[in-house]
Amino acid sequence: MQPKPLFIVNPQSGGGRTRHEFPGLQSVIEQRIGEFDLVWTARAGHGIDLARAAAEDERPLVVAVGGDGTLGEIATGLLQAKATGNVPPELGFIGQGTGCDFARGLGIPHEFNAYLERIASPSRRKLDIGWVRYRAHDGTTKERHFVNILSVGLGGLVDRHVETANRQLGGKAAYFLASARSMLEAKRGKLTLRVVNQGEENTRELGSYLIAFCNGTHFGSGMRVAPMARLDDGRFEVVSLDGSNKFSFLRAARGIYAGSHLRSPGVTHFSCEGAEVKLENEEVRDAFLIDCDGDAIGTLPIEVKMLRNALTLRA
């Protein structure tokens, strides 16, 4: 008997609403795609283990139910299994998180029926996945994959404060308040980058409050940081927001929801397939944190690579 599709659900997503609301949706899902199995994540990183096991069990489909961080964990687990010779299942997504910015890049309305329609559809697309090696908060070196955007600097501070925000405020309000608080704590990092683009290496030095490696277009609950990014072109769009002080940084960042910030002085944009990033002014390390698909996971140095056509997405 062929294994059933598996839904991996983060009960904490959506401010905890998913725990209460998702059981009532199971019959609707079965009507569209047939029988499926369901597991709940119990801790940070649990989605990685569950997805890896699903691939080893030869599941035909794994659906992430949660935010972009949940989706990134499940992609990590599938690719870990792929690295050991397993054929990864197709990947589906039902957004239940605070931001759900990955879905914005795909043009999916943030509605349950819209997500389910994509999962039940025969359409498929190849999905690039980012890989990062980084310094975790405990000082150890770890690896992870990401589906949407990895940023370093202000974004990581925002993540840290969103985690403690009142999720009943809604995604944009939570991010707005967290962003305002983070601006008070933000520091300007002096960065050295070794960049690989079209097989050629070059070195860049940047001053930055935030640098983002973008596979998707949006982060921070609707900030259109990289309008030109594509999920299947094999490259990152890198956007760095600089400023000689916080006022000039804010002036550069004020158009980020519309995507017009790229025309502002102090904003740097380039493409690459991979990079290494080091922080030269160690005194700002505590304020220069990684945002990986909405999760604050560590700090610099990092190494990032793009894995082209790594998974198949039902979208």
Task: Give the span between the Cα atoms of 77 and 88, in whole angstroms.
Answer: 9
* 267-294 pLDDT per residue, tens: 999 999 999 999 999 998 888 889 999 8
Secondary-structure class of domain 6-123 per CATH: alpha beta
Say which amino acid occupies 247: F
Task: Give the span between the Cα atoms of 212 and 240, in whole angstroms.
Answer: 6
* 85-136 pLDDT per residue, tens: 999 999 999 998 767 899 998 989 989 999 999 999 999 999 999 999 999 9
pLDDT at 187: 86
CATH topology of domain 130-309: Tumour Suppressor Smad4 (2.60.200)
Q: Are strands 37-40 and 6-9 parallel, antiparallel or unpaired?
A: parallel
pLDDT at 296: 85
Question: Domain residue spans in the chain?
Answer: 6-123, 130-309
Domain 6-123 matches domain 130-309 at the CATH topology level: no
* 57-82 pLDDT per residue, tens: 999 999 999 999 999 999 999 999 99
165 pLDDT band, cuts 50/70/90, is low
Task: Give the span between the Cα atoms of 94 and 299, in whole angstroms.
Answer: 29
Kindly list the distances between the CA atom of residue 165 and the CA atoms of 9, 173, 192, in Å, as whole numbers in the listed order: 21, 10, 33
* Residue 40 exposure: Cα atoms within 13 Å on the Cβ side: 10
pLDDT at 1: 77
Q: Is the pTM of this model over 0.85?
A: yes
Question: How high does pLDDT run on average in the chain?
Answer: 90
Q: What are phi and psi of 240, to 5 degrees?
A: -120, 130
What DSSP string runs through the chain?
-PPPPEEEE-TTGGGGHHHHHGGGGHHHHHHHH---EEEE--STTHHHHHHHHHHHTT-SEEEEEE-HHHHHHHHHHHHHHHHTTPPPPEEEEEE-SS--HHHHHHT--SSHHHHHHHHHSS--EEEEEEEEEEEETTS-EEEEEESSEEEEEHHHHHHHHHTTS-GGG-HHHHHHHHHHHHHHH---EEEEEEEEETTEEEEEEEEESEEEEESSS-BTTTB-S-TT--TTSS-EEEEEE--SSHHHHHHHHTTTTTTGGGGSTTEEEEEESEEEEEES-GGGGGG-EEEETTEEEEEEEEEEEEEEEEEEE--
Say which amino acid occupies 213: F
Kindly list the distances between the CA atom of residue 24 and the CA atoms of 20, 67, 155, 267, in Å, as whole numbers in the listed order: 8, 19, 34, 46
